[in-house]
Amino acid sequence: MIGNSIIKLHNVDIFQQTHLVLSNVNLHIDKGDFVWLIGQTGSGKSSLLKVIYGDLAINNTGDGYACGYALNHIKTKDIPFLRRKLGIVFQDFQLLTDRSIEQNLQFVMRATGWTDKKLIADKALDVLEKVGLRSKLKKMPHELSGGEQQRVVIARALLNDPEIILADEPTGNLDPDTSEEIVLLLKQISQSGTAVLIATHDYHIIRTFPSRIIKCENGKVLEDAKIA
């Protein structure tokens, strides 16, 4: 980590295959920051997130760091370790429908190297407590509302104590009241020291929870943007 910076991109060009999506990107996100990421469909938001979690290489343009890893030089074998320091929350919940909430969380922990049964059980309870769902441990995903399922996804993102949560349209499938509850939860998580970056099209929710805005527009990234 460079100082307090969890994410730092300096003069980075972002390509999809040979197509330049974003040029000369400068971006910093520090410990505990709560940041919105906006931009029209196709403006490069997803590409920017992919660079941060190691799904798109930045090769030799500029310098990029995420959670202590140099993105220019990261080896394929190190990408899973980078991703353990990131919590990723998508619009579609991607919960395993054939197992309970507890088993969903246990599956992720085992896949990321946890072996001690008691530690696994304790951690599952701990993250569900943080999102207000401790009582839902034994429920199946289909028994939960959309908002509750998204809370489970956030709990899953917290399992490895990430330095930052990347949330890509986390309220896209939720009604306005539930959306506010989810964003309030993410805001509280940022206040405990975990940075949060939320990509969204929902300007109402941004106005409800005003914070720093990053905007992808015309092939550029504006670090301190405004919305009308």
Backbone angles phi, psi at 46, to 5 degrees: -65, -35
**Residue ranges of the domains in the chain?**
95-161
Alpha helices in 10-145 (DSSP H): 45-52, 79-84, 101-111, 117-130
Looking at residue 3, its pLDDT comes to 59
Encoded tokens for 142 = 């289909």
Residue 221 has pLDDT above 50, yes or no: yes
104: pLDDT strictly greater than 70: yes
Task: Give the model confidence (pLDDT) of 190-200 as tens digits.
Answer: 999 999 999 99
**Residue 119 DSSP label:** H
Give dist(CA 146, CA 105) in Å, integer. 17
Q: What is the pLDDT of residues 122-167, one digit of tens each?
A: 999 999 999 999 999 999 999 999 999 999 999 999 999 999 999 9
Q: Cβ-count burial of 79 within 10 angstroms (0-12 exposed, 13-18 middle, 19+ buried)?
A: middle
Residue 90 makes CB contacts below 8 A (sequence gap 6+) with 153, 168, 169, 170
Tell me what the pLDDT averaged over the chain comes to. 92
Structure tokens given for 120: 């696994």
Return all residues near 209 (Cβ < 8 A) that are at least 6 apart: 34, 180, 183, 184, 187
How much of the chain exceeds pLDDT 90, in percent? 80
Q: CA 85 to CA 113: how far, in whole Å?
A: 13
Q: How far apart are CA 66 and CA 207, in angstroms?
A: 28
pLDDT at 1 over 50: no
Nearest to 38 by CA among 153, 205, 176: 205
- The rounded percent of the chain whose pLDDT value lies above 70 is 98
Tell me which H or E stretch contains 65. Answer: strand 63-66
How far, in Å, CA of 223 to CA of 49, rounded? 15
pLDDT tens figures, 67-92: 999 998 899 999 989 998 999 998 77
Q: How far is CA 140 from CA 57, 91, 143, 171, in A?
A: 37, 19, 5, 21
